[in-house]
Structure 1
């Protein structure tokens, strides 16, 4: 419906008065890319049991394999954020998609290796995937800040963030079937090819707001009037200089941002349990086959997806009804994190159906409360939106290192997942405390620029 919309700069005509809706096409692209992003992260969890048996790994070694992505992902966050501010979201994100997909594909080619060499190769390639994926979520937040006004930003952020659940719904059964029918190597090959195709589509369909051939002036004006940063890639201090640690120091000294960052760590700890150990929990603790676990894992993911969308809708609805930005963002986050703690109940039930239902409730809560990226779009200094998002993602994804390893040690030393569920569930409580008592008023940070 946007094909005939006049481009920016067209004369005012009746057609020009009707705002185009290109921003929703951009949001659809963010959703699809993020779905593939999380599916690529989850490949090892689906292939994990077969890999563990084939390569002779114990639970601790598998935990380290799971964490390989996290180490590099965290290390590369700040450089990735600076690259976004320096060269723009479209260029950097497009290159990121292509490179991580190539490294994913390469994980399926290590069949000629065995034992320690194979483990080392998987670790190294997972490490490189983490480097390549580092700009992804800061870019998502940056693009939403550019394309959406504040009153649509919560829902838009919730939609791209909910892609992590869609990844499990769509790809967990597919990847489980591939492992069951062909072997674990083929999972990486299939996902790598899909990612390379997505990199091509990104190049074709995504542009900056004022450069998109299908956007009209009315839509640009609507976005700008609502606080959208439509010129985010056309100006800014970061485009004229290298990384500035003084800006990072300013962000770290801000109490509101530190509360958001710590809470993001806790929220992501829940995420990384579900995309790493959860399928293995179903196989080893609940006696399911890998094929069944792949399909069962999609049930909580559907609930997480619904919770994620609902959290954004509730937040934007509260905002439209006159609630402050702080109330509109905090209410879904706190309620969701309290619900996520319900996973501990699984330690006291035996029926598989009840376990799945409880995990579905916990995952719904996690989705409901996963509004960290909307909050980042609301608070990031406009001059360094990429760097600010990268810093939040650095904190958030420290849990991609700690959670898989901690769960591996707990399971390895106790022979049970009970302690692991308590460990993961407590992160929901800490996130609540952060938003209730540390964050305070949610507002955009004003950066003190150096002359």
Structure 2
């Protein structure tokens, strides 16, 4: 690999937001195209999984599901997700993100389409298990792509942008599903969603390359991406990864907070429908959910901008991430007021603030693990943490089902517990997160 002289690096500490954006594009745009690809994958990922929550009233009526049937369907998705996270993360580091992500999206698209053939709760459990097993590749692959293509000062922003795809997917689903259900029926909706995945797979196969291999990346952009070089380290057994301090710093903190998003994704539609009798139409259920997920988009990108701005002002990366996470944890307290809100839009506002802050939190915890993890191991470390989070999500769905059954569908206890989870996770990260890139000891 050859280099030209190192380009001037865009300043994150001076000038307007517009100046910073223009500066970020000045050295080249290829990395943003790569980011667009993983953003679209994340959007597709969440359309495929969020559809079940929107269609739950229809499917529950047609198949006589109970609250525990629905909880068990989501539980088996989490089982597949937990197993898939650790397997997919390791697979991505071994064979490369291009090949591994191609296979994963191809398989999860087939699994999505298979939902249209299910005729019982058990059938949906099988389909959700396979979907979870394959969709687990999304975040390790996105994090790996971001780690490869972006320097530290841009990682939180890039992470916030691709993670905004979760909210775009969750927002598009209530916008489009009522119309598609009326035109096609629920079986064809699942098959159609699966077909969209094949379009993305084709684009990924044609467009994605790692930075050093990309045929059209500018030398100035490649030098900018690699401005913080790190020594080459060999692949290591998974047992050594489990001895890294950063692996456990991330795994426990993420397993405490990530299940909250599963709660929002799976249980917000039933909660709003129960409390305010909304139905599933765009005007009734769709608009409140769109407002919530739109705020999550702002939180996801804004959370990345905040820590990137702090880094640009001279704050160390780890400190910038932790300070940002503290601010967002305080914001999440708003969700306590949702359960007993006096009106729909007061509840929506309380939930929207919390969901937006959650996504901002997530952009920073993911960036933090990228900061201290060697790039050739980042998918493995993230995959292990994701597995732990998915196990936490399995317990979350069961806890939610039992709490709602025991309290006659009262959500107050659940909304009250949520903020404490973030303060616990933040305390753990403060004491355990490494302050520089870890080396793997023999």
The answer on 1:358 being equivalent to 2:350 is: yes
Question: Quick one: structure 1 residues 136 and 90, their matched pair in 2 at CA, closer, same or farther if it must change by over 3 Å?
Answer: same
User: Within 5 Å, which residues of 2 pair with 1:143-162?
Assistant: 143-162=145-164
> Where do 5+ consecutive residues of structure 2 fail to align?
8-25
Contact 1:23 1:148 in 2 (8 A): yes
1:44–1:66 Cα contact (<8 Å) kept: no
Write out per-residue CA displacement over residues 71-113 of structure 1, whole angstroms, 9 at most, x where no aligned residue: 0111122221221111100110011111101110110122xx3
The 1-side partners of 2:212 and 2:65 are apart by 52
For each residue in 1:117-151, what CA deviation from the matched residue of structure 2 results, as whole angstroms up to 9, or x when unmatched? x2111100110011112222111111111111111
In the alignment, the residues of structure 2 paired with residue 151 and residue 272 of structure 1 have an alpha-carbon distance, to the nearest angstrom, of 29
Counterparts of 1:12-91 in structure 2 under 5 Å? Answer: 19-91=27-99
Distance 1:399 1:162, change over 3 A: farther
- 1:338 equivalent to 2:346? Answer no
2:28 alignment partner, SS class: coil
1:267 equivalent in structure 2: 257
Task: Work out the CA distance in 2 between the residues paired with 1:356 and 1:406.
Answer: 23
After TM superposition, give the deviation of residue 440 of structure 1 in Å: 4.9
Match of 1:4 in 2: none
Partner of residue 5, structure 1: none
Give runs of aligned pairs for residues 200-215 of structure 1, distance below 5 A: 200-215=202-217
1:424 aligns with 2:433: no
Cα deviation for residue 320 of structure 1 reads: 0.7
- Report if aligned partners of 1:175, 1:294 keep a CA contact under 8 Å in 2: no
| Counterpart for residue 12 of structure 2 | none
Say whether residues 1:316 and 2:313 are aligned partners. no
267, 274, 281: which one aligns with 1:277: 267
Distance 1:109 1:440, change over 3 A: closer
Cα 1:226–1:276, aligned 2, differ >3 Å: closer, same or farther?
A: same
Contact kept? 2:144, 2:375, Cα under 8 Å:
no
CA positional deviation for 1:29? 0.8
The whole-number CA distance in structure 1 between the counterparts of 2:405 and 2:153 is 47
Match of 2:17? none
Question: Secondary structure, in 3 states, of the residue corresponding to 1:37?
Answer: helix
More divergent stretch after superposition (392-401 vs 143-152):
392-401
Q: Contact 2:92/2:100 (CA < 8 Å) preserved in 1?
A: yes
**In 2 relative to 1, CA 360–317 (structure 1 residues): closer, same or farther, beyond 3 Å?**
same
Alpha-carbon deviation of 1:302?
0.6
Quote the residue 2:441 is aligned against. Answer: 448
- Deviation of 1:11 after TM superposition, in Å, equals 8.4
**Distance in 2 of aligned mates of 1:309 and 1:293:** 25
CA distance in 2, matches of 1:368, 1:421: 19
Say yes or no: does 1:163 pair with 2:156.
Answer: no
Whether 2:427 is the aligned partner of 1:433: answer yes
Match for residue 124 of structure 2?
122
The answer to whether residue 234 in structure 2 is matched with residue 237 in structure 1 is: yes
Matches within 5 A, 1:170-189: 170-180=172-182, 182-189=184-191
Q: TM-score, normalised by structure 2?
A: 0.89
Corresponding residue number in structure 2 for 1:400: 393
TM-score, with structure 1 as normaliser: 0.87
Distance between the aligned counterparts of 2:138 and 2:49, measured in 1? 12
Give the match's secondary structure for 1:340: helix
Residues 272 and 400, structure 1, Cα contact 8 Å, conserved in 2: yes
SS of 2:141's equivalent? helix
Q: Take 2:4 and 2:303, find their aligned partners in 1: how far apart are those partners?
A: 39
1:310 positional shift: 0.5
Q: Is the 8 A contact 1:341 1:429 kept in 2?
A: no
Whole-Å Cα distance in 2 between the matches of residues 439 and 162 of structure 1? Answer: 27
- CA positional deviation for 1:206: 0.9
Task: After TM superposition, give the deviation of residue 236 of structure 1 in Å.
Answer: 5.6
CA contact (8 A) 1:307 1:364 kept: yes
For the aligned residues, what is the CA RMSD?
A: 2.2
CA contact (8 A) 1:380 1:389 kept: no
Instruction: Check conservation: 1:93, 1:136, Cα contact below 8 A.
Output: yes
Deviation at 1:180, TM superposition (A): 5.0
Equivalenced residue count is: 419
Return the alpha-carbon distance in structure 2 between the equivalents of residues 263 and 91 of structure 1.
30
Quick one: distance in 1 between partners of 2:192 and 2:328? Answer: 34
The alpha carbon displacement at 1:365 in A equals 1.4
User: d(CA) in 2 for partners of 1:388 and 1:247?
Assistant: 11
| 8 A Cα contact 1:97 1:195, kept in partner | yes
| Superposition misfits of 4+ residues, deviation over 4 angstroms | 8-12
1-structure distance, mates of 2:424, 2:62: 38
> Which runs of no fewer than 5 residues in structure 1 stay unpaired?
1-7
Contact between 2:51 and 2:173, CA under 8 Å: does it hold in 1?
no
**Higher mean Cα deviation, 355-364 or 303-312?**
355-364
Return the alpha-carbon distance in structure 2 between the equivalents of residues 46 and 152 of structure 1.
35
